[in-house]
Every structure is written in structure tokens, then in C-alpha cells.
Amino acid sequence: MINSTRHKDSRHLSAPLSIQAVISAKWVGCVSNDANNMSRTPNEYAVYLLMESGHREEVRFPTFQDFQKWYSGALTPKSDSNDFINVPIKNIQGEYMVVRPSRIVAIRVEPIFSSSVERFT
């Protein structure tokens, strides 16, 4: 489980506090409520970084565990820092992104489900 901490300056919400409600067990086992009651596994996770400036950046992670590893290893330890940290962009060759962790005000995690029809179009 990811620890949550409060930022000392109330103007800036630290990312750990912002996503405390988002990161929960329900994301790990997403289950559909369709007629067949078959469980579905997300194909990937879209992570939206909401910046203090109002900008929004989308980063894709193949698994929720990959997101948790990046979040707890790179973002959480430097949540109050103004130094840049790398944000992994695995699907795009030759591009990279860096952010200042103290400028992230919220993080939204969305499971992406791709049906067989969507994959072949």
C-alpha cells in the first residue's frame, strides 16, 4: 500500500494525498457487471498528471503494479522537491518527459479495457 503524506503548504496538494482515494484494491481487480458476470482485466492504465499550471499530461502504464512501482519509487520520495524527475513514456520512441513533483496537484488513474473489436480496427 502506498503511504499518504500531507504537503506543508496548503496551496500545493502533494500527489500522495491527491490519489489516496484513487489507489485502492478496486483498481487491481476490475470486474464488469455484464450479463455474463465475467471478470475483465485492463489492457493498460492511463495515468493523468494534473499540474499546478492547469496542464494535464497522460502517461500509459501496462499494469497497475508498474504505476505503483514508479509512484512509490520516483514520485513519493520527492513529493516536496522542485527537482525534475523522469516520467516513463514507454510507448513513444525518442521522447521523454520530466516533471517537478511539487507541481503535481492530482493524479487520476483510469483502467483501459480494449475489446477484441477495438484491437482490430
pLDDT tens digits along 101-117:
999 999 999 999 986 55
6 burial (CB, 10 Å; 0-12 / 13-18 / 19+) is exposed
Whether residue 75 contacts residue 2, with contact meaning beta carbons closer than 8 Å, is answered with: no
Indicate the average pLDDT of the chain: 74
pLDDT tens digits for the chain (121 residues)?
A: 344 443 334 334 444 444 443 444 344 444 444 445 467 889 999 999 999 999 999 999 999 999 999 999 999 999 999 999 999 887 667 788 899 999 999 999 999 998 655 555 5
Whether residue 42 contacts residue 109, with contact meaning beta carbons closer than 8 Å, is answered with: no
Number of Cβ within 10 Å of residue 79's Cβ equals 20
